[in-house]
């Protein structure tokens, strides 16, 4: 089945799952640029968004995406707990890569006042904190879109170890162009494009999220061992909850 045939199918949850399976077969050895180009054809130019944390590896996917089409909307979740260095890095990459449509999405103020008035939810219930600061805002931001692109890779381990290049997310399609890449591939994109590193990398941060739940990693640890250290939590929820 070709990408064009798959694109013509009618979207609902069952159809999205079938389309994702068929697309994953077609694209499972495709280059990241080919995956993004196919996503544009399948979903449609106005119905595809990329979700980026502007974290330590984000510049690589943003670079590949910008080379395909710098006007693809980029959704950035400004949780209220991000490092200042991440916000500054976002602005640097927007200018360097010529990104034309970066949308900084914030949590609903009324939800924060109701559920986290003292800004201590990250400590008492990190899942609830992620829900109101990331999951719900992303669900709102993705409402106009039929497909989205993420930067997850299998080498990150955990729930990501068996990641498909294309998967279903409710009625949406979710594309993971970097699923097959190794750390050396990411480094090569940075080097070839002369991409600036995230400012916190030099301080020992290899995976950067919200300030209270991000720590440095020690030699021999996985990059994401610095996220939610000491807890069983490994994901914020935007990749485990359906964004419908």
Catalytic residues: 236
Q: Which one, of 93, 135, 142, lies nearest residue 240 by Cα?
A: 135
Render 51-65 in DSSP notation, one character per residue.
E----SSHHHHHHHH
Task: Tell me the H-state helices in the chain.
Answer: 3-7, 13-27, 32-43, 58-68, 84-97, 109-115, 121-124, 126-130, 136-141, 183-193
CA 146/CA 135 separation, integer angstroms: 17
Complete edge-to-edge strand list for the sheet that includes strand 166-169? 102-105, 74-77, 48-51, 147-149, 172-175, 166-169
The owner of tokens 């996917």 is 61
Q: Judging by DSSP bridges, how do beta strands 172-175 and 147-149 pair with one another?
A: parallel
Domains and CATH numbers, the chain: 3-202 (3.40.50.620)
* Reported pTM: 0.89
User: Mind listing the pLDDT tens digit of every residue in the chain (244 residues)?
Assistant: 555 554 455 458 888 999 999 999 999 899 999 999 999 999 998 899 999 999 999 999 999 999 999 999 999 999 999 999 999 999 999 999 999 999 999 999 999 999 999 999 999 999 999 999 999 999 999 999 999 999 988 877 677 777 899 999 999 999 999 999 999 999 999 999 999 999 999 999 989 999 999 999 888 887 778 888 889 887 787 777 666 6
């Amino acid at each position: 089945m070709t990408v064009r045939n798959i694109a013509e199918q009618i979207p609902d949850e069952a159809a999205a799952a079938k389309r994702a399976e068929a697309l994953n077969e077609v694209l499972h050895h495709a280059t990241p640029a080919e995956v993004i180009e196919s996503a544009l054809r399948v979903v449609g130019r106005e119905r595809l968004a990329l979700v980026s944390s502007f974290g330590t590896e984000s510049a690589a996917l943003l670079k590949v995406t910008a080379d395909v089409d710098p006007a693809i909307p980029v959704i950035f979740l400004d949780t209220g707990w991000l490092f200042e260095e991440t916000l500054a890095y976002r602005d640097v990459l927007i200018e360097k890569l010529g990104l034309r449509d970066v949308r900084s999405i914030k949590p609903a103020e009324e939800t924060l006042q109701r559920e986290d008035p003292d800004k201590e939810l990250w400590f008492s219930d990190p899942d609830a904190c992620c829900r109101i600061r990331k999951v719900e805002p992303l669900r709102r931001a993705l409402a106009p879109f039929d497909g989205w692109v993420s930067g997850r890779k299998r080498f990150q381990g955990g729930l990501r170890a068996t990641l498909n290049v294309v998967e279903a997310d409710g009625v949406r399609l979710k594309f993971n162009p970097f699923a097959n890449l190794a750390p050396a591939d990411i480094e090569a994109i940075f080097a070839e494009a002369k991409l600036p590193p995230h400012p916190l990398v030099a301080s020992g941060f290899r995976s950067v999220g919200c300030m209270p739940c991000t720590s440095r990693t020690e030699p021999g640890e996985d990059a994401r061992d610095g996220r939610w250290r000491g807890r069983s939590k490994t994901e914020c929820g935007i990749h485990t909850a359906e964004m419908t």
